[in-house]
Amino acid sequence: MRVGCPHCHAAYNIDDRRIPATGLNVRCPKCRETFPVRPADPAGQGAPVPLPTGTGQASGAVPLAPPSSASEGRPGAAPGVPLPPPAAPASGGVPLPAPRAAPAVAPDLVTSAGIPLPPPIPAGNASTDPFAAPPGADPFGMDVPDATADAVEAAPEGEALGFGEVDLGGGAPAARAAPSLDDTDPFAPAPGATSWPPSSAAPAAQPFAAASGADPFAKPEDPASAPRREPPAAGEPLETLYGEGAEAPPADEVRYQVRLRSGKIVGPLGVPQVMGLRVRGELTGDEEVCREGEDDWSPMSEVDALAGAAAAPARQGGRVAKLGRGAGRPRASGVAVAGAALAIVLAVGVGAGFTPHGYFFTAALRGKDGARTAALVAQARAALAKGDYPSERTALDLAARAVAADPDARDAAALHAMVVAALELRHGAPPAALEQARRAADRLAGGDAPDAPALAARLALSVAGGGGATAPQEAALERSGGAAARDPEVVALLARAALLRGDAAAAAARFEALAALEPQGARALHGKALAALARGDAPAAKAAFEAALARDGGHLPSRLGLATLSQAAGDPAGTERHLAPLLAKDAEAKLAPGERARALALRAELLARSAAGAAEAVRTWEAATAIDPRATEIRVALARHRLAHGDAGGAVAATEPVAASAAKDAALAAVRVRALAGAGRALDALSLADVALASAPADANLSLAKAAALAGAGRIEDAAELYRAVAARSPEAWEPRLALGRIALTRRQLDAAAVELEAAVERAPRVAAVHVGVGDLRLAQGNAAGAEAAFRQALAVEPESAAAETGLARIALARGDAAAARARLDRALALDPRDAEGHVAFGTLLWSAGDLAGAEKSLQTAVELQPRNATALMRLGAVKLERGDVDGAVQRLTAAAGEAPQLAEAQQWLGRALLARGETPSAVAKLRRAVELDGSNVDHHLHLGAALERANALDEALAAYRAAAKADPRRADAHERLALLFAANGRCDAAIPAYEKAVAAAPRLARLQIALGDCQLRVGKAEDAAKVFRAVLRADAKAVPVLYRLGRALHESEGERAALPWYERAAREDKGNPMPHYYLGYLYKERGERRRAVEAFKAFLALRPDADERKDIEGEIEDLGGAL
State pLDDT tens for residues 823-864.
Answer: 999 999 888 888 888 899 999 989 988 999 999 999 999 999
Distances (CA, A) of 524 to 395, 467, 794: 17, 20, 44
What is the average pLDDT across 793-804? 92
Sheet of 265-270: strand order equals 265-270, 255-259, 288-291, 298-299
**CATH class of the 592-715 domain in this structure:** mainly alpha
Distance of CA 686 to the CA centre of its chain: 17
> Cβ distance 177 to 167 under 8 Å?
yes
Supply the pLDDT for residue 863.
93
What's at 491, amino acid-wise? V
Pairwise pLDDT comparison (181 vs 714), residue with the higher score:
714
CB under 8 Å to 640, separation ≥6 — which residues?
651, 671
Q: Which of 190-194, 274-278, 290-294, 460-464 has the lowest mean pLDDT?
A: 190-194
Cis bond leading into 207, ω under 30°? no
Q: In this model, does residue 499 exceed pLDDT 90?
A: yes
- Cα separation, 46 vs 94, in Å, equals 26
> Cβ distance 322 to 151 under 8 Å?
yes
- Cα separation, 136 vs 326, in Å, equals 15
Supply the pLDDT for residue 59.
35
Nearest of 514, 480, 472, 476 to residue 496 by alpha carbon: 514
- Cα separation, 104 vs 99, in Å, equals 12
Q: In this model, does residue 326 exceed pLDDT 60?
A: no
Q: In this model, does residue 319 exceed pLDDT 70?
A: no
What is the average pLDDT across 373-381? 92
34 SS3 class:
strand
**Which H helix or E strand runs over 168?**
strand 166-168
**Which H helix or E strand runs over 780?**
helix 768-780
- Written in H, E and C, the secondary structure of 1065-1096 is HHHHHCCCCCHHHHHHHHHHHHCCCHHHHHHH
- Cα separation, 703 vs 1098, in Å, equals 84
Q: In this model, does residue 342 exceed pLDDT 80?
A: no
Torsion of CA 515, 517, 522, 526, to 10 degrees: -40
Pairwise pLDDT comparison (169 vs 567), residue with the higher score:
567
Would you tell me how many other CB atoms lie within 10 Å of the CB of residue 33? 16
Supply the pLDDT for residue 837.
86
**Where residue 35 falls among pLDDT bands split at 50, 70, 90?**
confident
Q: Which of 103-112, 766-775, 1038-1047 has the lowest mean pLDDT?
A: 103-112
For 511-556, how does the pLDDT look when each residue is reduced to its tens digit (9 = 90+)? Answer: 999 999 999 889 999 999 999 999 999 999 999 999 999 999 999 9
What's at 134, amino acid-wise? P
Nearest of 572, 629, 579, 571 to residue 600 by alpha carbon: 579
Q: In this model, does residue 1039 exceed pLDDT 70?
A: yes
What percent of the chain shows pLDDT beyond 70? 75
Supply the pLDDT for residue 621.
95
**Which H helix or E strand runs over 926?**
helix 920-933
> Cβ distance 6 to 35 under 8 Å?
yes
Q: In this model, does residue 1079 exceed pLDDT 80?
A: yes
**Which H helix or E strand runs over 954?**
helix 954-967
What are the residue ranges of helices labelled H in 406-485?
Answer: 410-425, 431-444, 452-464, 471-478, 482-485
The per-residue b/e assignment along 128-160, b for 16 or more CB within 10 angstroms, e otherwise, is ebeebbeeebbbbbbbbbeeeeeebbbbeeebe
- Same fold for the pair 255-311 and 592-715: no
Supply the pLDDT for residue 67.
38
For 254-279, how does the pLDDT look when each residue is reduced to its tens digit (9 = 90+)? Answer: 888 888 866 778 878 888 788 778 77
Distances (CA, A) of 641 to 490, 619, 636, 644: 41, 12, 9, 5
Supply the pLDDT for residue 583.
93
Nearest of 402, 418, 417 to residue 368 by alpha carbon: 402
**Where residue 865 falls among pLDDT bands split at 50, 70, 90?**
confident
Q: How would DSSP label each residue in 573-606?
A: HHHHHHHHHHSSGGGGGGS-HHHHHHHHHHHHHH
Q: In this model, does residue 324 exceed pLDDT 60?
A: no
Phi and psi angles of residue 256, each rounded to the nearest 5 degrees, phi first: -130, 150
Superfamily of domain 255-311: GYF domain (3.30.1490.40)
Q: What is the DSSP letter of 520?
A: T
Q: What is the DSSP letter of 1040?
A: T
Would you tell me how many other CB atoms lie within 10 Å of the CB of residue 121? 17
> Cβ distance 1044 to 1070 under 8 Å?
yes
Q: What is the biggest distance separating any 2 CA atoms in the chain, rounded to whole angstroms?
A: 174
Pairwise pLDDT comparison (1045 vs 296), residue with the higher score:
1045
How far is the first Cα of the chain from the last one, in angstroms, to the nearest whole number? Answer: 131
- Cα separation, 373 vs 796, in Å, equals 66
> Cβ distance 675 to 652 under 8 Å?
yes
Q: In this model, does residue 85 exceed pLDDT 60?
A: no
Supply the pLDDT for residue 233.
40
Orientation angle between helical segments 1110-1119 and 1090-1103, nearest 10 degrees: 160
Torsion of CA 190, 196, 200, 206, to 10 degrees: -130
- Written in H, E and C, the secondary structure of 254-320 is CEEEEECCCCCEEEEEEHHHHHHHHHCCCCCCCCEEEECCCCCCEEHHHCHHHHHHHHCCCCECCEC
Q: What is the DSSP letter of 183?
A: G
Supply the pLDDT for residue 239.
38
Supply the pLDDT for residue 676.
94
Distances (CA, A) of 664 to 668, 669, 697, 700: 9, 8, 12, 15
**Where residue 445 falls among pLDDT bands split at 50, 70, 90?**
confident
Q: How would DSSP label each residue in 961-1017?
A: HHHHHHH-TT-HHHHHHHHHHHHHTT-HHHHHHHHHHHHHH-TT-HHHHHHHHHHHH
Q: In this model, does residue 894 exceed pLDDT 90?
A: yes
Q: What is the DSSP letter of 226?
A: S
Q: In this model, does residue 142 exceed pLDDT 60?
A: no
- Cα separation, 709 vs 680, in Å, equals 9
Nearest of 854, 860, 852 to residue 881 by alpha carbon: 852
Nearest of 766, 824, 803 to residue 645 by alpha carbon: 803
Nearest of 568, 574, 582 to residue 388 by alpha carbon: 582
Would you tell me how many other CB atoms lie within 10 Å of the CB of residue 343? 10
For 573-610, how does the pLDDT look when each residue is reduced to its tens digit (9 = 90+)? Answer: 999 999 999 999 999 899 999 999 999 999 999 999 88
For 667-676, how does the pLDDT look when each residue is reduced to its tens digit (9 = 90+)? Answer: 999 999 999 9
- Written in H, E and C, the secondary structure of 58-117 is CCCCCCCCCCCHHHCCCCCCCCCCCCCCCCCCCCCCCCCCCCCCCCCCCCCCCCCCCCCC
- Cα separation, 742 vs 745, in Å, equals 5
Supply the pLDDT for residue 623.
95
Q: What is the DSSP letter of 207?
A: T
1035 SS3 class:
helix
Supply the pLDDT for residue 360.
53
Distances (CA, A) of 587 to 591, 596, 828: 6, 9, 39
Cis bond leading into 268, ω under 30°? yes
Supply the pLDDT for residue 48.
38
Domain residue extents for the chain? 1-247, 255-311, 592-715
Q: In this model, does residue 139 exceed pLDDT 80?
A: no
Supply the pLDDT for residue 223.
41
Distances (CA, A) of 625 to 600, 629, 632, 634, 639: 9, 5, 9, 7, 12
> Cβ distance 208 to 95 under 8 Å?
yes
- Cα separation, 632 vs 637, in Å, equals 9
Provide the mean pLDDT of the chain. 78
CA angle, corner 798, sides to 796 and 802, nearest 5? Answer: 110
What's at 285, amino acid-wise? G
What's at 662, amino acid-wise? A
